[in-house]
Amino acid sequence: ALFDPEFNVHVGTQVLHETITRYGNVQRALQAYNGSLGDPSMRYPRKVMAMKKRIVAAAAGRLEVASAG
């Protein structure tokens, strides 16, 4: 079931929603989701938020998704 992309995204968003509720903000929730709460560099949340920024820009026509590389 987790190899089904639609189901995987559904479960992942539920888990992320629960962690946002528990930890109070997206960055801490992403750390918890990734198992990196003890990482002071916040590498994973920064990576995710940077990708979100690229996707939003691409959706607005300001960036080609292929250059996300």
Name which residue leads in pLDDT, 68 or 62: 62
- What integer pLDDT is reported at residue 38 of this predicted model? 92
- What integer pLDDT is reported at residue 66 of this predicted model? 54
- What integer pLDDT is reported at residue 26 of this predicted model? 95
Q: What is the pTM of this model?
A: 0.72
Of 11, 36, 4, 12, nearest to 23 by C-alpha is 36
Encoded amino acid at 32, one letter: A
Encoded amino acid at 45, one letter: P
How do residues 5-63 score in pLDDT, each as one tens digit?
Answer: 999 999 989 999 999 999 999 999 999 999 999 999 999 999 999 999 999 998 988 75
Contact between residue 49 and residue 27 where contact means Cβ atoms under 8 Å apart: yes
Contact between residue 29 and residue 48 where contact means Cβ atoms under 8 Å apart: no
